[in-house]
Amino acid sequence: MALDLFSLAGPVLARIHDAEDAHRFTLLALKTGLVPAPTIKSDPILEMHVFGLRLANPLGLAAGFDKNGEVPNQMRRFGFGLVEVGSVTPRPQAGNPRPRLFRLAEDRAVINRMGFNNEGHAALAKRLQRRRRQGVLGVNLGANKDSQDPIADYETGIRVFAPLADYLVINISSPNTPGLRDLQGRARLDALLARVLPARDGVGRVPLLLKVAPDLAADDKADIAELALHHGIDGLIVSNTTIARPGLQSRHRGEAGGLSGAPLMAPATAALAEFYRLTQGRMPLVGVGGIASGADAYAKIRAGASVLQLYSALVFAGPALVARILTDLAARLRADGFARVSDAVGTGSS
């Protein structure tokens, strides 16, 4: 019943002029129980062990949907194997001026220039301390726009959230914070990893992942892969939103910000396959960007993803999409003779 409510509420949400207002209404509905989330059981073939964690299935909710950790348990019950909250910065941050979130219905895509708007470390930590721990939870860490030492912001985030999360993400790939993507350059990334990994080791062995952009040059990808292996980061998330605008039809196609959704599927999957090749399958990869079907999910796995994440497709298809993807993914694995997800990882990358 709860999943079917989207067929009624979806058209209403689509008519709300400002997409950010529609999103806030969605969060409110989840918080108040207006849209009760059922508990979806995963097919055993989808069970995963990665980053030292057991996942009921490899499909996760990407960061950005629940920046302030308001509804992680509610979203988990729609069938997600993991839920990632954030991005969160040390100090509260208003983000960029509105409007800053745009639905591109014709392209099944979203453009955002939110600018790490969030309530800050203290507010998120308080919510997570009160939360009943259910499922696998990740916290995506960002840096304040006016920070004099962005790496210190990540170190602080690690110390605050290591006791509260199952994994942490260093997000250096959002296009909406000036200068942030510069941290992906070889020298600055080397310095960042040399600081954040010891910070993590000082508070325990929570898995620490790095989230990268899809718009990287070949040399940058090679440098990131080399440094990730050298420093021993636990995994890469490939990828964040893109600043490219590949053949869009919507009137919003010229808006500044990061593009996500269906147009990101091909370039993000190509970047994923390249990172799988560069890391020689020695590091778990999280495939993000454009997943809207079981076929998309399977393509990411065969390109090298051990874990998957989605967000934008929910804007157009609603939460019932999660169960549909998982059902189709399990069927595709069985049809190709795989006994488990891990057996299929990277099988299409050669």
Q: CB–CB of 107/253 below 8 Å?
A: yes
2 burial level (CB within 10 Å; 0-12, 13-18, 19+) = middle
Number of continuous H segments (helices) and E segments (strands) in the chain: 12, 13
CA atoms within 13 A on the CB side of 155: 15
Collapsing DSSP to helix, strand or coil, 341 comes out as helix
Secondary element (H or E) of residue 154? helix 150-161
- Rounded to an integer, what distance in angstroms lies between the CA atom of residue 142 and that of residue 177? 9
C-alpha angle 168/171/173, rounded to 5°? 155
Which is nearest to 12 in space by CA: 25, 3, 2? Answer: 25
Q: CB–CB of 172/180 below 8 Å?
A: yes
328 CB contacts (<8 Å, ≥6 apart)? Answer: 293, 294, 295, 297, 298
Q: Which amino acid is at 173?
A: S
Q: Which of 87, 174, 260, 306 is catalytic?
A: 174
Which is nearest to 241 in space by CA: 124, 112, 78? Answer: 112
**Is 349 among the residues known to form the active site?**
no
Show which residues are catalytic. Answer: 174
